Structure 1
């Protein structure tokens, strides 16, 4: 445990929705919901104006529309979010070389390794937080962040939650246990719905209950490793280091056999097991994968690979297993298999980019890549009608499937030869409606065009 509050956690407030409100003046102060806009879409981020209606991240899009039908439903602009994220991470890395991004909008910073002297007293941290929040707003064009500081990553993250939105909270060293005690046990990482229900059955509902219960009693209910870990966190015992980002390019699991295997059912069982291991590693790394690959090395050291790319990322074990098993069936296994592996690539941030999928996330986005007969030592490939007079408070949100297929997703940046820059207000029935405004203009006019108008193009 650290003797001073030297771990800082920063979380950008309603990040995706805030970027949209920043760049779309007509949406400022209004409910904005960003995510998948198709039948199977999921909410990625809701603005605070939408949250008062009960809309939250990971909620099905149809439920969000039921709760907040007057919101602006946007498909998201991931490039814009990446730019803002890089700007914020640069500010944090200018403060300390030890920055651990958790996603585009969230990171830990080790203040003990700061590039300049940092006063870790409460007044000193108050000044630092004020400077950071001002700098984040300056480089991003007005985005806000919530910040927590504590003696560990766990406490810093809890502190951030206490400061939301657009606030901060500092937990002085020595005050951690008292802070945690009255909180729900669900505040502790690893206490989800299942574990929470198990704890409730033995009378553990708060962190104070978890602090009081005997470890042996806890272990009997949730297991030794899990119980020991939760008990430690209940007393704020967390010595995890802030680790700079190490970008993963791919994740894979391989099995080499003592004897060549030819039975498809046996191989499918192994592939399923490997797929579940890969999925578990994706989940642990908070990542999603777009491409699933299977690698098969036959008797004679000839290697085959098959890959399939999805329209959206996934970490679902069942889906990865199904695709890998399908790919296994495409290879002639009669010579005997000496090695099989399951891998994933095209990794991206979990619970972010995949939530922008507007249709079936399991749909194949491209033909499978195939590489056959490669020697083992050689290369291996691995809206209602959006006419004038429509509701001026929100974009049209129907016919999203048609809008996507026409290349005009709601919220996308566009440019017109005559009217300049704007964004897609709605599309369908052969037309696209655009609100002509940018972050630097007042709310602009709405105009409708044919969806094949040569003067209008995506930016």
Structure 2
């Protein structure tokens, strides 16, 4: 264990988060899109916004929003088809800059990563200076803005990176960390999704201070294996290490819907941001996946999973979309409303660096 739980030297963790990454790449590469509200994604009836420029965000458009809703909020919204190959190339440029400062890099997706700069390759003592240098280098190399959060653990570094977005940075010190968490609404906590926030609300937990009042036993009883994590972060404690080059056994994302789903189109729409999230993680970490699992939880809390394994790692996000659609279609019409959907990838392996032939899958 390190850092905040004892008297050891505090760690120096930087969370770097690219600002409106996909949309910013599109605006960089096409001058006609600059200053215009841009959504990366499909404008089709069942399309979903993968990313929104800051001009679009001013109208209330955000990622994971159905395209029809986005168009209603912003009639002048310009949709651009995602170019994941370009985003990947830019992400690798950014990763190379990180590697000049530390080998301790944990990518979360193509546009964000944790860096442990406690011991760094430049011998720079002050983490805020490292963050400033990295952001300036990213801007010079790619023309894109990055924001950063600096703190003594991963949770607070992640929270800090949101404080001065876009194109800014913030630090949360060991001295002010616990007080910062106490004031923060739990719905803004990293790791607390809408369903968990709603459950906390029902239990009378609105802020970090409310969370801190609960015992570990209470949190484990109500939140299971997440209980100890919530207990720690309520006190500004997060002992998770920055883990470079890790290959998980699986990677997944799920979402609980505000209203139960009864038809195919909204279900497929709801799955798109989850597909993009798990694919982005795999791309950022150079991981390929052969097994796709769809999780469905119904209104009565019963749940089923459906899986498909293919002979070789999925080469493109379109192949993942195809497999998910294949697993989803037979479940309709459902016997009861669907309250939660999830997508996970397993049979993960490191991708070979050489270019592999893009074989179409026989699905």
The correspondence of residues 379-394 of structure 1 with structure 2, limited to 5 A, is none
Could you tell me how far apart the structure 1 residues matched to 2:324 and 2:89 are?
31
Could you tell me how far apart the structure 1 residues matched to 2:328 and 2:176 are?
46
Q: Cα deviation per residue 1:159-179 (whole Å; 9 max; x = unaligned)?
A: 001121110001122321111
Could you tell me how far apart the structure 2 residues matched to 1:59 and 1:293 are?
24
Residue equivalent to 1:63: 69
Residue equivalent to 1:311: 318
Could you tell me how far apart the structure 2 residues matched to 1:293 and 1:47 are?
31
Q: Cα deviation per residue 1:169-212 (whole Å; 9 max; x = unaligned)?
A: 01122321111111111233442222222221221110110011
Residue equivalent to 1:371: none
Is 1:132–2:134 an aligned residue pair? Answer: yes
Residue equivalent to 1:242: 242
Is 1:11–2:17 an aligned residue pair? Answer: yes
* Contact map agreement 1:32 1:47 (CA 8 A) in 2: yes
Are the structure 2 counterparts of residues 319 and 235 from structure 1 closer, same or farther at C-alpha, using a change threshold of 3 Å? farther
C-alpha displacement of 1:46: 0.2
The correspondence of residues 234-313 of structure 1 with structure 2, limited to 5 A, is 234-246=234-246, 286-287=281-282, 292=291, 311-313=318-320
* Contact map agreement 1:183 1:207 (CA 8 A) in 2: yes
Could you tell me how far apart the structure 2 residues matched to 1:119 and 1:179 are?
24
Residue equivalent to 1:405: none
Going by fraction, where is strand more abundant, 1 or 2? Answer: 1
Residue equivalent to 1:33: 39
C-alpha displacement of 1:12: 0.5
Residue equivalent to 2:146: 145
C-alpha displacement of 1:81: 1.1
TM-score (norm 2): 0.70
Are the structure 2 counterparts of residues 189 and 60 from structure 1 closer, same or farther at C-alpha, using a change threshold of 3 Å? same
Match of 1:42 among 42, 48, 51: 48
Could you tell me how far apart the structure 2 residues matched to 1:226 and 1:5 are?
23
Are the structure 2 counterparts of residues 191 and 172 from structure 1 closer, same or farther at C-alpha, using a change threshold of 3 Å? same
* Contact map agreement 1:292 1:320 (CA 8 A) in 2: no
SS of 2:100's partner is helix
Residue equivalent to 1:186: 187
TM-score (norm 1): 0.56
Are the structure 2 counterparts of residues 10 and 293 from structure 1 closer, same or farther at C-alpha, using a change threshold of 3 Å? closer
Aligned length: 289
The structure with the largest alpha-carbon Rg is: 1
SS of 1:115's partner is coil
Could you tell me how far apart the structure 1 residues matched to 2:169 and 2:185 are?
20
C-alpha displacement of 1:135: 0.7
Q: For structure 1, which runs of at least 5 residues remain unmatched after alignment?
A: 253-278, 295-304, 324-341, 349-364, 369-459
Match of 1:103 among 100, 109, 117: 109
Could you tell me how far apart the structure 1 residues matched to 2:350 and 2:326 are?
16
Are the structure 2 counterparts of residues 321 and 33 from structure 1 closer, same or farther at C-alpha, using a change threshold of 3 Å? closer
SS of 1:204's partner is coil
Are the structure 2 counterparts of residues 108 and 343 from structure 1 closer, same or farther at C-alpha, using a change threshold of 3 Å? closer
* Contact map agreement 1:35 1:74 (CA 8 A) in 2: yes
* Contact map agreement 1:16 1:34 (CA 8 A) in 2: yes
Are the structure 2 counterparts of residues 283 and 24 from structure 1 closer, same or farther at C-alpha, using a change threshold of 3 Å? closer
Residue equivalent to 2:362: 367
* Contact map agreement 1:290 1:311 (CA 8 A) in 2: no
Match of 2:122 among 95, 116, 119: 116
Q: Cα deviation per residue 1:294-337 (whole Å; 9 max; x = unaligned)?
A: 9xxxxxxxxxx8659783425998965889xxxxxxxxxxxxxx
